[in-house]
């Protein structure tokens, strides 16, 4: 009897999972289309939050993989993936890129190469968002906010809960340790980690 119940549960679970995956992909396709994202192929679990303002651009390559739910990546600190491009910014995501519960907020230019993996809860920002000067910040004069492009090379792996800040380039094949804050550019074929991220060793 127990084995029968387990078998039925597994069948029902597969049916529900198939339905949810189809639903998630259909809604995400619509979200991408409405936001004028140029994309080819993607897989998704859950539905990302997407905001591409007028004059901004987002281009996504082949085989883009996004996890937006606890069921798709139960790593903790879960949220939907966020793709936000504003201020006439440009976000370019290469082929075979995977991300889970991560945020990309672009106001200038963010370019992500091919075969890049983001661990759960990563953030990439190309802006300070608010001025350093307290007088400008308290008066909400955000037009003085600094923006600087971000470039992530091919085959980079960024560990969970890491943050990449404006003006940073990460060379191909490099690895960023979990929970790192990357404030300056990193050469190819190196491992960096910490807050702020520092050189650990070469690959």
The pair of structure tokens assigned to 84 is 């936000």
Residue 93, Cβ density class (10 Å: 0-12 exposed, 13-18 middle, ≥19 buried) = buried
Considering the candidates 65, 80, 130, 147, report the single residue annotated as catalytic.
130
Which of the 8 DSSP states describes residue 124?
E
Q: Tell me which long-range contacts 188-197 makes (C-beta under 8 A, separation of at least 24).
A: 188/153, 193/159, 197/162
Edge to edge, the sheet with strand 117-118 lists 42-45, 64-67, 98-100, 117-118, 157-158, 175-176, 190-194, 197-202
Which of the 8 DSSP states describes residue 28?
H
The answer to whether 147 is a known catalytic residue is no
| Residues that are catalytic | 130
């Amino acid at each position: 009897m127990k084995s029968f119940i387990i078998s039925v549960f597994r069948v029902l679970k597969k049916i529900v999972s198939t339905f949810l995956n189809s639903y998630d992909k259909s809604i995400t396709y619509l979200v991408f289309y409405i936001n004028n994202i140029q994309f080819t192929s993607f897989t998704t679990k859950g539905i990302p939050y997407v905001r591409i303002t007028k004059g901004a651009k987002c281009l996504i390559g082949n085989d883009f993989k996004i996890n937006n739910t606890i069921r798709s990546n139960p790593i903790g600190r879960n949220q939907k993936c966020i793709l936000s491009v504003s201020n006439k910014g440009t976000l370019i995501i290469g082929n075979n890129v995977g991300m889970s519960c991560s945020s990309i907020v672009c106001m200038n230019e963010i370019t992500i190469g091919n075969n890049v993996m983001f661990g759960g809860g990563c953030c990439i920002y190309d802006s300070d968002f608010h001025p350093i000067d307290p007088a400008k910040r308290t008066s909400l004069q955000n037009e003085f906010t600094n923006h600087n492009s971000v470039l992530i090379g091919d085959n980079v792996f960024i560990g969970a809960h890491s943050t990449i800040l404006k003006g940073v380039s990460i060379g191909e094949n490099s690895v960023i340790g979990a929970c790192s804050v990357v404030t300056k550019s990193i050469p190819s074929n190196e491992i960096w980690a910490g807050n702020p991220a520092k050189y650990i060793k070469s690959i």
